[in-house]
Amino acid sequence: MIDFNKLIDNHLAREYRAKTIGRYYPSEAGSCLRKTWFSYKNPKPNDVKLTRIFEAGNMLHEFISEVIKSEKNKEVELLRSELPIEIKTKDFIISGRIDNLVLVKICEKSECKQVLVEVKSTKFLPKEKKPEHKMQLQLYMRAIGVNDGIILYIQKDNLETRSFEIKHNKKVSDKIIERFQVLHQFLTENKLPEAEAKLDSEKNWMCDYCSYAEECAKE
């Protein structure tokens, strides 16, 4: 018999590359600082299950892009997808090619505007936007130079959606840049950050999916 699980894992396998201190990724904006610190100091290959989850999310992102491009939906126009992001500071760079972003043009009542849509696949639709997703989108809007954004949640099993509109807030994105500055300082000084997710009740759930739970507990 053909082992299709093995075929899928072989197809999704990517060459592993260690991270470089001084080059950070937008997806790390809302992550636990300690987990991110470990990912630079003690890098591990991506978990097979997580790789599959990410790929399923990419498929739904491509589906949303096709929906927007459809001639049946003339009120919205796809401008770009899979956007590259880069923010440079004196000490470090935040960069990456973001697969779950879509830049669209929406026209209502003869007025058109560009909107950055962040697509998030989920098992259940959340009632409110998640703080870490809001942080990411603020950073993305700053990098792209767009003031209007939408976090679009799409449920995997039935394609139901829920969306939340967000305006870019420079003060908020400044704080996110400052957060990366804190991470950079901990890394360059080789000091371990506090166990952020354990200390914040709204972030406790991150510990359940953390690949560095054992290392964190030892500290």
- Write the pLDDT tens digit of every residue in 62-72: 888 888 888 88
pLDDT at 76: 85
* Domains in the chain: ranges and CATH: 28-85+92-218 (3.90.320.10)
Rounded to an integer, the average pLDDT of 196-219 is 88
**pLDDT tens digits, residue range 83-93?**
888 999 999 99
Predicted TM-score (pTM) of this structure: 0.85
Nearest to 133 by CA among 54, 29, 55: 29
Q: What is the mean pLDDT of residues 49-56?
A: 78
Q: How many CB atoms lie within 10 A of CB 186?
A: 19
Give CA–CA dist 139/26, Å, rounded: 7
In this model, does residue 181 exceed pLDDT 70?
A: yes
The per-residue pLDDT for range 128-172, each reduced to its tens digit, is 999 889 999 999 999 999 999 999 999 998 999 999 999 999 999
Reduced to 3 states, what is the DSSP secondary structure of residue 157? coil
SS3 194: coil
What b/e readout covers 97-133, taking b as 16+ CB neighbours within 10 angstroms? ebbbbbbbebeeeeeeebbbbbbbbeeeeeeebbebb
Q: Which of 24-33, 96-105, 159-168, 195-204 has the lowest mean pLDDT?
A: 96-105
pLDDT at res. 44: 83
From the centroid of its chain, how far is CA 111?
A: 30
pLDDT in the model for residue 94? 95
Share of the chain above pLDDT 70, in %: 99
